[in-house]
Structure 1
Amino acid sequence: MQYAQTRKKLRAKEHRMPQSFRQPDILEIARRDGKVTVDGLAEHFGVTVQTIRRDLAELAEAGRLSRVHGGAVLPSGLSNIAYQDRRGLNAQAKAQIARRAAELIPDGASLFLNIGTTTEAVAQALLHHERLLVVTNNMNVANILMGNPGAEVVVAGGTMRHSDGGLIGPMALRMVEQFSLDCAVIGCSALSESGDILDFDLGEVSVSQAMLQQSARKILVADGSKFSRKAPARIARLDEMDHFATDADLPAVLAERVQTWKTEVLI
């Protein structure tokens, strides 16, 4: 009798939270932890394991997760998460990181902002700064900074990626190389235990590298989910950064290494 009542309660909960609401949360948990389990998700959402298995099957069919025994993991680190998914991922943490980064940038500064949802959050945090010069290969950053009349915005030419408004290619690279600015604020897709700052697109990586090369001060902005992700292309290493704004404690191996580096970690 008690088992039947429990099943009835679970079905009622499932009715209140359709799978369209569960699945984005499942993806966020997977990106945070690197994997999810059927039993853990069933307990978390208060639904049956059969319901979670259906959710995971649909996410796997859509290419969002890869099924493994007892759960699912993120797909291979050869392609980035879709832009719309990244926009909603860890939004509060990104806003916190952006505020810390913005505190490092005085009025009257010149800076690069590269492609990424965290650098877009930095642009939002800079809306009240005055007399800024911002060079970016991120159309979304440019659109955000339209709201700051005290910012002069230079958009690097190049080939626009329709998926996220990023500008890449030789034209973007040559444009960036024409500037020598106070600082570069860059985001990334992954950060390895050895401190490698990683991304997916080689064209995007080359522009980010040029931004770092052409700046006096270097700021990395990345939330804790990047510690458990992988990407194939290397931008730089963390010890080349002056500041690293994040929202989570560094993994033990990286935390030990960063103690000997000049990089200031801001949590």
Structure 2
Amino acid sequence: MHDQHSTVELPSVRRQKILLLLERDGKVMASALSQHFVVSEDTIRRDLAELHAAGLVQRVHGGALPRPKDTGKDFFTRVSETDEVKTRLAQLAASRVHNGQIVMFDSGSTTLQIARSLPSDIVITAMTASPMIAITLAEYTGIKVILAGGQLNPATMSASGHETLRLIESIKADLLFTGVCAIHPEVGISSLHFDEVPIKQAMLDSASHVVAVTTADKLGAVEPFVVAPCNRIHTLITERHVASGDVGDYRKLGLEVVQADD
């Protein structure tokens, strides 16, 4: 009896079946798909690349995940949406801030939510390259805000360039809330935007303790520009249920992993 996939199958049909498997399992791996469809891993990688280019999947190391929820949405759309998961994660992160600290806030909708979640009577010095985060922090009477200047990236609504780097490098922070586009235990932290990389690297170098706050869909994901290995993070705060990867992989790297209660 012939295998059901032994005959040549149109790529478009195979890709549709890959999407169905992804919907069912929450993640697909190139090696398993290669065996399932009896084609080479190179063929599967091309399939996943085409599906990623079409905005249908999120590529990760060795396979693919469902497309992130905010794909295709601009910054203002993301920050205006109410997300209970992000709110809970931000509250957990904000509880790590103590009076008298110097705290860096990376750009991003999640770090903006952390700024909104700080105790009303907190007394800290805060530094950020994000004008929106700076405005949010300025509403606290006990927070001294340092805003890094530079060229504004409309995609991230954050400054970058030599001026931004010089200011970041001149500060030694107690705590950094770093934004995360994607984090993979082997690849590390990666970004969709090239000009973010040196800014994020400088912030990592300038902070004594680094906290990354991310939803589960960014775990195991990979973006084009690598920022740093995972061990540059000290604490990872994420969701309780993680379909896209095993948090144990991050604990093995020495990270403190904190998962929000349901």
User: Equivalent residue for 2:250?
Assistant: 258
Q: Distance in 1 between matches of 2:195 and 2:72?
A: 14
Q: 1:112 aligns with which of 104, 115, 119?
A: 104
SS at match of 1:149: coil
Report if aligned partners of 1:127, 1:147 keep a CA contact under 8 Å in 2: no
Q: Distance in 2 between matches of 1:113 and 1:84?
A: 18
The offset of 1:248, in angstroms, is 3.7
Structure 2 CA distance for partners of 1:155 and 1:184, relative to 1, 3 Å: same
Calculate the TM-score normalised by the size of structure 1. 0.66
Q: Once the two structures are superposed, what CA deviation does each residue of 1:125-169 show, in whole Å capped at 9, x if it has no partner?
A: 125242211110111111111210100000011101234421111
The offset of 1:260, in angstroms, is 2.4
User: Equivalent residue for 2:239?
Assistant: 247
Structure 2 CA distance for partners of 1:147 and 1:121, relative to 1, 3 Å: same
User: Equivalent residue for 1:200?
Assistant: 192
User: Equivalent residue for 2:42?
Assistant: none
Q: Distance in 1 between matches of 2:54 and 2:108?
A: 19
1:168 and 2:140 equivalent?
Answer: no
The offset of 1:250, in angstroms, is 4.4
The offset of 1:195, in angstroms, is 5.8
User: Equivalent residue for 1:98?
Assistant: 90
Structure 2 CA distance for partners of 1:196 and 1:249, relative to 1, 3 Å: farther
Alignment: residue pair count = 203
Q: 2:79 aligns with which of 84, 87, 92?
A: 87
Report if aligned partners of 1:184, 1:217 keep a CA contact under 8 Å in 2: yes
Q: 1:222 aligns with which of 214, 225, 238?
A: 214
Report if aligned partners of 1:34, 1:229 keep a CA contact under 8 Å in 2: no
The offset of 1:215, in angstroms, is 0.9
Q: Distance in 2 between matches of 1:175 and 1:126?
A: 24
SS at match of 1:128: coil
The offset of 1:186, in angstroms, is 0.5
The offset of 1:258, in angstroms, is 2.4
| Paired residue type of 1:227 | L
User: Equivalent residue for 1:143?
Assistant: 135
Q: Once the two structures are superposed, what CA deviation does each residue of 1:176-197 show, in whole Å capped at 9, x if it has no partner?
A: 0010110111111112242611
Aligned alpha-carbon RMSD (Å) = 3.1
Report if aligned partners of 2:216, 2:244 keep a CA contact under 8 Å in 1: no
| Paired residue type of 1:244 | L
Report if aligned partners of 1:199, 1:231 keep a CA contact under 8 Å in 2: yes
